[in-house]
Amino acid sequence: MTGIILLAAGESKRFGSPKQLAHFRGKPLLRHAVDTALEAGLGPVNVVLGAVDQPCRDVLEGMNVSIIHHAGWEKGMGGSISVGIRPWMGRRNPLKGVIVLLADQPEVTAAHLRALAAASAGHSIVAAAYSGQVGVPAWFAPDKFMRLLLLEGEKGAKTLIAREPRVRRIEIPAAAFDIDTPEDLPGAAPAADAADLPDITVGEPAPPGGIRLRKELFRIKNPLRFVAPLGAFR
């Protein structure tokens, strides 16, 4: 069983309003991410909230997740990961690993998360590879739980990934698409069907040009515009 820590505590400075609540494919971005985590069927899901607490709780009402408030959200992602892993610390913890997932990577699918967990045998860290980098979503074995707990400030999961000499890399080009500004919302390519995804290597090689070019390619493939509730919940 693999737990999922979904990080959604930030204030979305670059976006201009709470991007957790911005609509993507007809529903709030946060709801989209939680649906993906639950669809993966790997285990319990902890959602870490912070800057936009109650409106996000309203979005998640009735969903089978644990909601954790991170009072120190403004200090950085490291603390959010720490509070997310804390409930699973202890000798009786049945988890074989945890996946750290961001709420603003809407092209990451349940099949991608299952691929990370499936590739974990014999490894302490399995991470997504995209646009020439390695990062989240990423799977961590129990021997890394204490290091996750001790994270603080701006030092997030990438810090542990960079220090690990033998990281299993899984190609997930879709992880390159993230939502930073309202301009990133229009047109994300339709998610690949799980049946079309291989067990380990997921997706085609990332295009040259990095994340920004990939975002433009997503827009070209699907020019539909989505409406973000700018100004809401300020």
CA dist 169 and 25 (Å) reads 29
Residue 67 is predicted with a pLDDT of 98
Is the predicted pLDDT of residue 81 greater than 60, yes or no? yes
Is the predicted pLDDT of residue 220 greater than 50, yes or no? no
230 falls within a domain = no
226 falls within a domain = no
Tokens of 225: 């515009």
Which residue range is the domain that position 60 belongs to?
2-221
Pairing of strands 45-49, 2-8: parallel
Residue 232 is predicted with a pLDDT of 35
Pairing of strands 133-140, 125-130: antiparallel
**What's the rounded mean pLDDT across residues 25-42?**
96
Residue 71 is predicted with a pLDDT of 94
Residue 192 is predicted with a pLDDT of 41
233 falls within a domain = no
Q: Is the pTM of this model over 0.75?
A: yes
pLDDT in tens, 128-167: 999 999 999 999 999 999 999 999 988 889 999 999 989 9
Residue 187 is predicted with a pLDDT of 52
- Number of structural domains (the chain) is 1
pLDDT in tens, 164-195: 989 999 999 999 998 888 888 765 344 444 33
Is the predicted pLDDT of residue 211 greater than 50, yes or no? no
Is the predicted pLDDT of residue 203 greater than 90, yes or no? no
Burial class (CB in 10 A: 0-12, 13-18, 19+), 12: buried
123 falls within a domain = yes
70 falls within a domain = yes
Q: If residue 97 lies in a helix (H) or strand (E), which one and from where to where?
A: strand 97-102
The total number of residues shown for the chain amounts to: 234
Neighbours of 53 (CB within 10 A): 16
Residue 186 is predicted with a pLDDT of 60
CA dist 151 and 131 (Å) reads 25
201 falls within a domain = yes
Amino acid letter at 37?
Answer: A
227 falls within a domain = no
- Return the CATH number at 40: 3.90.550.10
pLDDT in tens, 93-135: 889 999 999 999 999 999 999 999 999 999 999 999 999 999 9
